[in-house]
Structure 1
């Protein structure tokens, strides 16, 4: 069944977490980050079944990248998702696969590399246009920082992204790992979303988030629960989060995700997993109501920096 209701996906399923906006598309506020599907490299059918479950649960916003499994994750999306599912796929450029490297990616910030990365994404996804592509810079962490010929001027990068949009190869432009100043400089290009590391325990970018609210730009935090590397604080370790979870009969992870949805109207989540049970728990976080007292307690949690080097 197809429907035009903003609360329902193209298949007539209630949107996980309600409806949000991304690059002119109405999407579920709880999306799916596909990176961890790489863990199912040895069981392709399980990975495809998980993606079908994503659609069944009312998720129609999926975040990916060509460097996730050296194209493996994109190929899964190509095989598992159908046009009638109405899923908005968001990819990113700024890094390419590097299977033999210390980490499985290398920076690819130069304009010609950005264009080549978009072409690689189009091929592996099996599409003619990607709805949204994020330019992942290295202005802020966590993660590797650009040096040498990978230190590229923002204007040169945006010129390439705009050209790709004009050519119809991408639908809209997002930014990732950027400073407030970079976002301000990029606004004339028509930025539709920002992905920075952000969580209840690491709120370095509050001013940037508020600018995104004002400009109707989606805020899509990665590492929404912190703790991706040893030096990062974890939302699920926070006593106030644990107490709220116990009171609500939920998990600390669900409370951490629910806080993000309550914190600002433009927040879209992309938690990732390779496990169906964990997927269902993440989607259920979009149903949690946090009252004023609980929100005030969570808002009072001390913020610590997530800007740490990649191990």
Structure 2
């Protein structure tokens, strides 16, 4: 796999987002299935694994620790703090003492002495970003984390944080159908030498081409977070489905799967972009990693951009309450 720079680390251009092994998209896979997928990822050369305290309220970090700790020297480990489960509810808390406590808990769950890349999962607006990043800087000095990242922040917030301590990565949703990063933060990352880690690079499954009817969305598990996302509801989803025929045709023309087309498009947007698709299936894992070998010609990319962009996709990516919790720029 081609290599890209993630702060002080060199990692495979395509990493593994581990969230849906424990969280977010309905019933998680059985433990043996999740463990098999993580081991297969290692075998295939994945060197960037991404988790968070939030995912499964600690269960995902525990899973990675149990399975991957014996191979710790073979990969870059990223996790996140500042958004966790408290008494069964999701809580955003960026106070320095909370971030430090969460890190200690994460180190135990991950069965490691140091976390390579530790993100502030959400900026807690009740706490100056300088205070939260200052706490993370202290964790660097103490040798508990190696590098600092931010998730779902604006270019302005990134610059404020970067002035306190170097930020090596920003993680935000980015794909053909979610272009908010193109407003400012993607370029800010380029200017500052910060890696941009793209989560949900396959549009939460939409760009994989498997969701083709409203009935499939109606059948989502009650715990599937897409149930609350406007793009998957009613008229917006019906309008988005009309984009699929042309998109699938472009994937056939490119000689790849729809998911590979979405990932290849991202990889060609910039050398500082590192997608982290997630999956619960080994065949999808293998398919995703092969996207690193695909090169799209300029004409096909132009037609992709014309077909799927912020003007043609219907519905915001988050409901209003969730949108209010994040700091990313909005069109």
Q: Which TM-score bucket, shorter chain as reference?
A: 0.7 to 0.9
Cα distance, 1:203–1:41 mapped onto 2, change above 3 Å: closer
C-alpha distance after superposition, 1:238-297 (max 9, x if no partner): 454322112123222221111000111111111111111111111112221101111122
Distance 1:302 1:47, change over 3 A: closer
In the aligned structure 1, how far is the partner of 2:85 from the partner of 2:305? 38
Q: Which of 130, 136, 157 is residue 155 of structure 1 equivalent to?
A: 130
- Let me know the Cα RMSD of the aligned residues: 2.3
Which residue of 2 is the match for residue 28 of structure 1? 12
Q: Paired residue for 1:96?
A: 84
1:268 and 2:274 aligned: yes
Higher mean displacement: 291-300 or 174-183: 291-300
Q: Tell me, in whole angstroms, the C-alpha distance in 2 between the residues paired with 1:250 and 1:181.
A: 38
Contact 2:20 2:28 in 1 (8 A): no
Structure 1: distance between partners of 2:284 and 2:270: 24
2:154 to 165, 171, 179: 179
Q: Distance in 2 between matches of 1:169 and 1:108?
A: 20
Q: Distance in 1 between matches of 2:191 and 2:100?
A: 30
Name the CA shift for 1:254/1:152 in 2 (closer, same or farther; >3 Å).
same
Q: Which residue of 1 aligns with 2:38?
A: 51
TM-score, normalised with respect to structure 2: 0.78
Cα 1:67/1:294, change in 2 over 3 Å: same
Alpha carbons of 1:252 and 1:42: their partners in 2 closer, same or farther (altered >3 Å)?
closer
- Residues matched between the structures, number: 282
Q: Does 1:76 align with 2:63?
A: yes
For structure 1, list consecutive stretches of 5 or more residues without a partner in the other structure. 1-14, 139-145
Alignment TM-score, normalising by the size of structure 1: 0.83
Deviation track 1:35-94 (CA, whole Å, cap 9, x = no partner) reads: 111178673222222111001111110000122223222122122223365110100011
Residue 84 of structure 2: SS of its match in structure 1?
Answer: strand
Q: Does the CA contact (< 8 Å) of 2:267 and 2:273 recur in 1?
A: yes
Q: Distance in 2 between matches of 1:44 and 1:204?
A: 35
Closer, same or farther: CA 44–23 of 1 in aligned 2, 3 Å: same
Is 2:286 the counterpart of 1:280? yes
Contact preservation (8 Å) 2:230, 2:318: no
What's the secondary structure of 2:268's corresponding residue? Answer: helix
CA distance in structure 2 between the partners assigned to 1:167 and 1:276 by the alignment: 37
